[in-house]
Amino acid sequence: MMQRLTILAPMTALSFFGAAGNAFAGGRSEPWQMWFQPAASPVMERIIEFHNLLFVIEVSIVTLVLGLMCYIIVRFNAKANPVPTKTTHNTLLEVVWTGVPLLILMVIAVPSLNLLYYADRIENIEMTLKVTGNQWFWTYSYPDHGGFEFDSVIVPDDELKEGQPRLLTVDNEVVLPVETNIRLLFTSSDVIHNWAVPSLGLKLDTVAGRINENWMRINKEGDYYGMCSELCGINHGFMPIHVKAVSKADFAEWVETARKEFAGAGGPAPVRVAETGAR
């Protein structure tokens, strides 16, 4: 606690340093970051773009209402306006102000629903990653690369190495290639979890007895972090997600070693899901 208070003072200076040094380079939030984490996938880029449109609309509406209220308070208080008006309704005004919000909603709905379909599916899937939620760790399997699978468990505080972020570090991070259309399949072995990586614009429940599908494409190499986003019991806060995006060549290399490392842990015969299922 005391430590925190002493940190408070030079905070601003530190944050400038942090921004200049760009120590985190996306994938998680930075001190005094404004807005969303930087986008690392085409879906998230579009989400941020659309969000910016919404933001302008919303701030304008709130400002308008707040301004009106202030004007009313100053102009029509008991002293300033002793004789209240008798107007009860005004049809033209009422038609106009029903029409305007409808128009605004159209402006919002069209890009929103377009983006909804874009974010849902894409053609030309190149590989598949299956994510299984467990209490309280993730299991990843690669059905298109021999079907090996491994668990990804949080590293406790006392075993963290220098530079590893607390509550975000896992023993086996999920390695994926950049600039590849990846199909994601989500399921769970027990309760509902939610696989969420903010910078990739992903958040989807994993439900036992169901398979949810989504896709992603990572723009550039780096570490992207996420956390379980559906209350899943007592250790809900301790099942982080670490996506390590590498080049296609590095990924091929990693697959070779991973196959050996996680041999036997995998499921049944390898099936190439990507080719059979692509639309």
Partner 1 sequence: MAYVAPAEVEQIPPAEVEDVELYHAKSWVTKYVFSQDAKVIAIQYSATAIAIGLVGLVLSWLMRLQLGFPELFDFIEPSDYYQFITVHGMIMVIYLLTALFLGGFGNYLIPLMVGARDMVFPYVNMVSYWVYLGAVILLIVSFFVPGGATGAGWTLYPPQAILSGTPGSEGGIILMLVSLALFIIGFTMGGLNYVVTVLQARTRGMTLMRLPLTIWGIFTATVLALLAFPALLVGAVMMTFDKLLGTSFFMPALVEMGVYLDYGGGSPLLFQHLFWFFGHPEVYIVALPAFGIVSDLISVHARRHIFGYRMMVWAIVGIGALSFVVWAHHMYVSGMNPWFGFFFATTTLIIAVPTALKVYNWTLTLWKGNIRFTLPMLFALAFIVTFVNGGITGLFLGNVVVDVPLSDTMFVVAHFHMVMGVAPLLVVFGGIYHWFPLITGRMLHEGMGQFHFWVTFIGAYTIFLPLHYLGFLGVPRRYFEMGETNFIPESAQDLNAFVTVVALTVGVAQIVFFINLFWSLKNGKLAGHNPWKACSLEWRTAHVPPRHGNFDDLPVVYRWAYDYGVPGADEDFIPQDVPPDRVSTGKGEV
- Binders of partner 1 in range 167-186 (CB under 8 A): 167-168, 186
The answer, yes or no, to whether the previous bond of 136 is cis (omega within 30 of 0) is yes
Cβ atoms 213, 184 nearer than 8 A: yes
**Is residue 35 part of the contact set for partner 1 (CB under 8 A)?**
yes
Q: Tell me which of 19, 146, 203, 221 binds partner 1, using CB under 8 A.
A: 203
Contact pattern for partner 1 over residues 104 through 143, marking x by CB under 8 A:
-x--xx--xx-xxx-xx--------------xx-------
Residue 11 exposed, middle or buried by CB count within 10 Å (0-12, 13-18, 19+): exposed
* Segment interacting with partner 1 (CB under 8 A) among 98-106, 144-152, 243-251, 266-274: 98-106
For partner 1, which is the closer residue by CB, 168 or 258?
A: 168
Stretch that binds partner 1, among 83-91, 122-130, 142-150, 255-263 (CB under 8 A): 83-91
| Residues 6 or more apart whose Cβ sits within 8 Å of residue 165 | 28, 225
Window contacting partner 1 (CB under 8 A); options: 140-148, 190-198, 260-268, 271-279 = 190-198
**Integer Cα distance of 236 and 230 in angstroms:** 8
Q: How many CB atoms lie within 10 A of CB 209?
A: 6
Of 7, 26, 4, 27, nearest in space to 15 by CA: 7
101 binds partner 1 (CB under 8 A): yes
- Indicate whether 219 belongs to the interface with partner 1 (CB under 8 A): no
